[in-house]
Structure 1
Amino acid sequence: MRRRQFLASGTALLSVAIAGCGHPPVVLDMDDATADGIAGEVSMTAVPGSEEYAVVTSARENGSATRAGRHALFDHTDTVRVEDAFYDVSETRLGSSEVTVYEVRVDFDPDDPTPELGEIEYDDLPETDRRRLDAIVSDDPPSQDGYDLGVGYGTAEEVGDGSVFVPEQQYDVLVYDGDRYRVAVDSRTASEVEYRYEATEVAPDVETFADRVRAQYLFALTGLSEAERAVVEEAIDGGYFEDDDAFRSVVDRIREHEGLDVDDFYGTWLVEYEGVEYLTYAEW
Structure 2
Amino acid sequence: MSGLIGAATSAAQKRLSFRSALESGRLHRFPGAFSPLVAKLIAEIGFDGVYVSGAVLSADLGLPDIGLTTLTEVAGRGAQIAGVTELPTLIDADTGFGEPMSAARTVTVLEDSGVAGLHLEDQVNPKRCGHLDGKAVVPTSEMVKRLRAAVSARRDPNFVICARTDAAGIEGIPAAIERARAYADAGADLIFTEALSTPAEFAQFRAAVNTPLLANMTEFGKSELLTATQLSDIGYNVVIYPVTTLRLAMFAVEAGLREIDSTGSQSGLVNQMQHRSRLYELLRYHDYNQFDSDIYNFALQGVTP
Instruction: Please indicate, yes or no, whether the TM-score normalized by the shorter chain is above 0.5.
Output: no
TM-score, normalization by structure 1? 0.21
Relative contact order higher in (CA < 8 Å, ≥ 6 apart): 1
Q: Which has the higher helix share?
A: 2
TM-score, normalization by structure 2? 0.20
